[in-house]
Structure 1
């Protein structure tokens, strides 16, 4: 999901310096390494940063990392636990004290032109509306809680421009995932044209999701975050589309919309300390 850049103070220089210091110290004579080990041991966030820096070294619009790199980053994410990030379900981020539409908190970790890292904190019933990730590869790790995920890919096996010609402003998409997920579970990966590039998150319970995007959203580079409304396939029957009756439930029409007014995302900087205060 796109986070307005004027809401986020660019961070990451400290991580870079820390990693550079770690790499330099590791090259010092072996006899000096023992007393440096405690100081140079990387935190899970630093390990994730280093993996992203390697995996997304050549990141660009529509470029998918190699299968080896994907597996490397997936493995790093799989090993991260909520306590590694100082997160607990009873923190203020995950409650809706004032009632109404739950506010979502985004803990910004790092962003550069190659990748971004951050954590979405959702109270129960919190919703990240249906949105896309154009030209991007996205890794998501549900840290705790139960979340309903519904994701789509554009229906690419249909006659070109059928939906746009007969139903302007709507496009047919195929449902990729429509299910509840409960942590601990495997990280999910979506690709520019596959894997559920457009998705919606709904928190069944309080949830935390660690997100890695490569490359990140960028309007000048054609990676604008678009939001969508969905409609059942049967709402708009068209000619030229032949889908077996039993499969029609797997397709829906998507229509681009403005960013929902009900969506409230509070952006905060992630603190690397063991406990984070609201």
Structure 2
């Protein structure tokens, strides 16, 4: 009999196997809904997850974040992230990728941003160039809008991130920590540099939105809702260790 986690992996492979060649538009909405439903039924017992990994740190140098690798192929990667109390996965991106997160233990906060449209981003940068920032800084900024800011638990539906929605995000463990199943499709491709994980921080503009609002036109008012991200090196406090996955085999 196919296990629940194997059924999820099989459905994900069938759904995402065409993304690399045909792009995100090839993903079936019905297939995605079915995959999310399958994933929502997976719990700690279905992956043989030991919740002591979340709260028990083995030694003072134990990493605050752990990863349990389940499977990876050309279409997707799947594993379990463990965030110990207070740990976070800093603001980063999933370029041209889908991300599905199913919390199986604890609680976490997800703050996710979506890329602004090319025209909106260009207009916003032009406005910033005129009012706030020197031109030499503008190419480093990525214009985004907030799409998700909420708390997720094992009672929540899986979190869905797409190439157009929520592709920039950070995750913060709450309370006693958290653990979630993570599916990325296609997987990162650091070898060829096609899908590389990059890290960001929000840029604080010289003048606050409230100070500028009285001087903004209707178009500028919309632009003021953008958040600007600056790419940075991987934060030094983000350390991710690995632990062997002991759950049902997935191929």
Q: Compute the TM-score of the two structures, normalised by the length of structure 1.
A: 0.73
CA–CA separation in structure 2 for the residues paired with 1:119 and 1:152? 23
CA–CA separation in structure 2 for the residues paired with 1:233 and 1:176? 20
Select 2:220's aligned residue among 232, 242, 251: 242
SS at match of 2:30: helix
Counterpart check, 1:224 vs 2:196: yes
Match of 1:82 in 2: 44
SS at match of 1:145: strand
SS at match of 1:160: helix
Q: Is the 8 A contact 1:94 1:121 kept in 2?
A: no
Select 1:213's aligned residue among 178, 184, 200: 184
CA–CA separation in structure 2 for the residues paired with 1:273 and 1:53? 17
Counterpart check, 1:182 vs 2:142: no
Most deviating of 138-147 and 80-89: 80-89
Q: Is the 8 A contact 1:233 1:252 kept in 2?
A: no
Select 2:162's aligned residue among 182, 191, 206: 191
Residues 142-200 of structure 1: per-residue CA shift (max 9 Å, x gap): 11211011110122262526428644212221111122222211011111122x11110
Q: How does 1:231-270 map to 2 (within 5 A)?
A: 231-232=203-204, 242-243=220-221, 248=224, 250-270=225-245
Select 1:200's aligned residue among 159, 170, 195: 170
CA–CA separation in structure 2 for the residues paired with 1:179 and 1:100? 30
- Unaligned residue ranges in structure 1 (runs of 5+): 1-40
Number of equivalences: 229
Select 2:17's aligned residue among 57, 75, 85: 57
The one of the two structures with greater contact order (alpha-carbon pairs below 8 A, sep at least 6) is 2
Q: Compute the TM-score of the two structures, normalised by the length of structure 2.
A: 0.81
**Structure 1 residue 101, shift from structure 2 partner:** 9.0
Describe the shift of the 1:92–1:159 C-alpha distance in structure 2 as closer, same or farther (beyond 3 A).
closer
Match of 2:101 in 1: 140
